[in-house]
Chain A
Amino acid sequence: MPKLSLTHFEMAIVFALLTSIVLGVVTKKTDKERLRYGLQTFGYFVVALFGLAWLMYLGHG
């Protein structure tokens, strides 16, 4: 099997997506709440990803 090589951004997005699915499934009580929480969690991951990326970019000088 050839070694998979993704960028930091792609890997972080895939990680966020898969983690959000499970967090949505196990956390809330109704399907509507689960879907909402999963999307919300994914959104938080993406915001944190861009926030930290900018922080590192600006901190690096």
Chain B
Amino acid sequence: MAEATLSKPAPSGIAAILLGFLIPGGGHFLLRRSIRGALILFSVAVMFLLGIAMRGAFFQPQGGDLLNIIIYCGGFLADLCSGAFYFLAVAFGYNQPDVAGHVHDYGSKFLVGAGLLNILAMVDAWEIATGQKD
């Protein structure tokens, strides 16, 4: 029974992941975990906005050696996982070039960090929706 539940996810699990991807914490709101959703939304939003305020650069996928591919493609995917924040920033024309400087560098890491935190939140929403945790 438990295997059947894991192998065939409930529709709300996919909905929670999709909503959580678009709006950080959205999956938790959908599953009526509002306080946890609000904490996730706050954390991801603040981290993303600080990254923008520090003029961090978004990663763009690049070829080259394996390490280069992992860093740039992974960074791009992590940036993308900030969901609506990323799409809005791109839509409003945010296009910071990758320049030297510790503040810019921290900004890029904050932008990636925001996306990574949202991935954790999406996995958590999935586990809640599929009954693996409360």
Contacts and interface: CB of A to CB of B under 8 A. Distances in A.
Are A and B genuine complex partners? yes
Chain B interface residue bracket vs A: 20 to 34
A50 B134 CA distance: 36
B37 to A, nearest CB: 9
Given A4-B53, A22-B44, A11 B106 contact: yes
Nearest to B46: A18
26 contacts: A1-B52, A3-B55, A3-B103, A4-B53, A5-B54, A6-B106, A8-B102, A8-B106, A14-B46, A15-B47, A15-B109, A15-B110, A15-B113, A18-B43, A19-B43, A19-B117, A21-B43, A22-B40, A22-B117, A22-B121, A25-B39, A25-B121, A26-B40, A26-B120, A26-B123, A26-B124
A11 B105 CA distance: 11
Contacts of A25: 36, 39-40, 121, 124
A11 B102 CA distance: 10
A50 B40 CA distance: 27
Interface of A: 1, 3-6, 8, 11, 14-15, 18-19, 21-23, 25-26, 29
A18 B102 contact: no
Contacts of A15: 47, 109-110, 113
A50 to B, nearest CB: 18
A18 B24 CA distance: 14
Nearest to B28: A25
A18 B47 CA distance: 7
A19 B113 contact: yes
A10 B79 CA distance: 22
Contacts of B120: 22-23, 26
A29 B132 CA distance: 10
Contacts of B110: 11, 15
